[in-house]
Structure 1
């Protein structure tokens, strides 16, 4: 399970590309050129695919059948959902962001990759010192990382009265490694088999029909180390020891589920509505390139708590449909499904479970 946790947190860390060498030009640190306003726009545009994909994945994997557990029956399922980033969110146009002091280095190359974009695509930007138009500093934006964004589901479900299930998702807040950071998750869900409300005593219906609701929240923190170039001039605080990333990811979904048990094989289909939102901030002091010498060397200004990622760039909402199955072999179960969404973020889920 530790490897599963690491996969998720590494996705976040890699997306922001912060590590001990954060000053290198192949990471998000290359975006720290200009004031926080410009940098916020660039970071939001780059990370849109990561956080929308993560939110979509966070809402997946709640159930693979409409049938509920018997009273006090339980199941433990371990699965993961991976969302596929659509083409429309794999790139962004630098000129559409309304940047004040940053322009594409090549006026004919204004398109840059997002987190889900091309790993080999490189787009240059040039920062112009507002106090001296002849002083410029050039760098390249980060490349794409992956078009698949995963999220974990570790879930315990218990049967209650009247054909109702209570599900709980939980990952205790644990520190994976210094490079990965800390992650914790909590969520809960309810499922009710409504077909049983109309069942005639002694008669079994040939299918199950249920309504379900789920909520998940994942918290993430990581220490950062973004430093100015050696020997550079920094205006403001030079205490960069308190840098950290704080992220909060929320997912809500409601669905109608139809399933039919065929011996040990149960296919299902569900339709519903989902919503997710993300709030990611950088805490501490960070050096930004806010000037340049005539020889192209950067000068820095230190800003506190400069970056915030939220709103439309970091969330999604819309309808969702899933099609999949549950394979039951005594107390052992195998799950798989594929989901399509009106947000264009489709996904697939797979996992195993144990239950009585």
Structure 2
């Protein structure tokens, strides 16, 4: 079990360290929020779009590798990972299409394309921020992409046979990680599969057409929490205060599938088709103090101090990431108590899943 916990910790942290440290680094956050919560949310959603889609598609993968349900009390434990491939259309986006306010403008209007989180590892165009008087108060470059073209999604899953022709699966991880480093992650998921071969082919028909047919459903949820490192405040009057800056996210997905498989000695290929959805509930929470205007030479008090504004919970959004048909083809290979699994899925994204496991009984 220690090995499984270690694997879960490492793989989940690999997913989220980029998300927390690069996308929401303290300096970039302050610059981004200067444009106002609405613009900040639009930029964050567009930048992280393939992460949300890929994670949702990946965590809906790998619930099963056969239509055959386990017998009562028989079980297996597996470790697997899915890689959702990010299409080229989701590796960059056009800033002009986001409908940003007049307070957030491109420095060079001709340079409008910027990488998403899983796009090219090149810094994006410069955005200039203005106050209500049209005075420039700051600027920042959109972050580079990771250069990675897939979104990983690991799972640790246990499956056990319960009533006749039915088995259930559980995905679970206690809160892992350290909030001050990369954040903490907690995973919870439930799945159920019911074999309907005899209902569809009663009597001797199942011997004439020797395949297994089942229906299945699964729900997966990932909770994420990251405490943003407390930086020195630009507004000295608030120095030393706990501003409770943090990132909180909940990513969830459902999948409903029909499965057909055929056992051939130790090898069982399968095909499935179904419908899956994924949602994101994400917030950049706490208080963020940023300079929103600067003194000007035409002011009666040209040496007056800068103006600071506190934004509370500046970025919050809920959205549907994927909703549509998906199909999968794959296999399971039984070698005594050892199991090998593999699958390919196609839908809004494409995903590859591979895993190993231990099992007792059929």
TM-score normalised according to structure 2 size: 0.87
**1: CA distance between counterparts of 2:7 and 2:100?**
39
Q: Partner of 1:244 in structure 2?
A: 246
* 2:342 maps to 1:311: no
Say whether 1:354 aligns with 2:354: no
1:236 is displaced (CA, Å) by 7.7
- CA distance in 1 between partners of 2:117 and 2:289 (Å): 23
Give me the whole-angstrom Cα distance separating, in 2, the residues matched to 1:29 and 1:206: 63
1:210 aligns with 2:214: yes
Rounded to whole Å, the distance in 2 between the matches of 1:20 and 1:96 is 22
d(CA) in 2 for partners of 1:347 and 1:270?
14
Where do 1:40-119 residues align within 5 Å? Answer: 40-100=41-101, 101-119=103-121
SS in structure 2 of the partner of residue 17 of structure 1: helix
CA spacing shift, 1:70–1:21, aligned 2, 3 Å: closer
Equivalent residue for 1:140?
Answer: 141
- Classify 1:190/1:322 alpha carbon distance in 2 versus 1 (closer, same or farther; 3 Å): same
Q: Residues 137 and 292 of structure 1 are in contact (CA less than 8 Å); yes or no, is this contact kept in structure 2? A: no
Query: For residues 230 and 127 of structure 2, what CA distance do their matches in structure 1 show?
Result: 20
For residue 149 of structure 1, report the CA deviation from its aligned partner.
1.1
**Aligned residue number for residue 334 of structure 1:** 340
Distance 1:98 1:227, change over 3 A: farther
Residue 237 to residue 48, structure 1, CA distance change in 2 (3 Å): farther
Asked if structure 1 preserves the Cα contact closer than 8 Å seen for 2:235 and 2:289, the reply is: no
1:156 Cα deviation after fit: 1.0
- Distance across 1 between alignment mates of 2:219 and 2:117: 26
Q: Deviations for 1:98-123, whole angstroms, at most 9, x for unmatched residues?
A: 21111111110111111111112421
- Report if aligned partners of 1:135, 1:293 keep a CA contact under 8 Å in 2: no
3-state secondary structure, aligned to 1:320? strand
Task: State the aligned residue count.
Answer: 345
Of structures 1 and 2, the larger Rg is shown by 2
Higher alpha-carbon deviation: 69-78 or 236-245: 236-245
Q: CA deviation at 1:43?
A: 0.9
**1:221 is the counterpart of 2:221:** no
Structure 1 pair 334–316 and aligned structure 2 pair: CA distance change class (3 A)? same
Name the structure 1 match of 2:10.
Answer: 6
Question: Quick check: 2:8–2:155 contact (8 Å CA) kept in 1?
Answer: no
2:180 aligned residue: 178
Q: Does the aligned pair in 2 maintain the 1:226–1:286 contact within 8 Å? A: no
Alignment correspondent of 1:17: 21
- Offset from partner CA, 1:133-160 (integer Å, 9 cap, x none): 2434222011112221112221111112
Question: Which of 298, 320, 331 matches 2:326?
Answer: 320
Q: CA deviation at 1:350?
A: 0.6
Is the 1:32–1:287 Cα contact (8 Å) retained in structure 2? Answer: no
Mapped partners of 2:167, 2:21: distance in 1:
40
Tell whether the 8 Å contact from 1:273 to 1:320 is kept in structure 2 after alignment: yes
Deviation of the 1:177 alpha carbon: 6.0
Rounded to whole Å, the distance in 2 between the matches of 1:221 and 1:142 is: 21
Unpaired runs of at least 5, structure 1: none
When the two chains are superposed, the root-mean-square deviation of aligned CA atoms in Å is 2.6
Report the Cα distance in structure 2 between the residues aligned to 1:96 and 1:278, rounded to whole angstroms. Answer: 22
Query: C-alpha distance in 1, partners of 2:24/2:216?
Result: 44
For the 8 Å contact 2:183–2:227, the answer to whether it is kept is: yes
C-alpha separation in 1, matches of 2:48 and 2:36: 18
Unaligned runs of 5+ in 2: 298-304
CA contact (8 A) 2:123 2:141 kept: no
Give distance in 1, aligned partners of 2:324 and 2:159: 26
- TM-score, normalised by the number of residues in structure 1: 0.88
Q: For the residues of structure 2 that align with 1:93 and 1:81, how far apart are their CA atoms?
A: 29
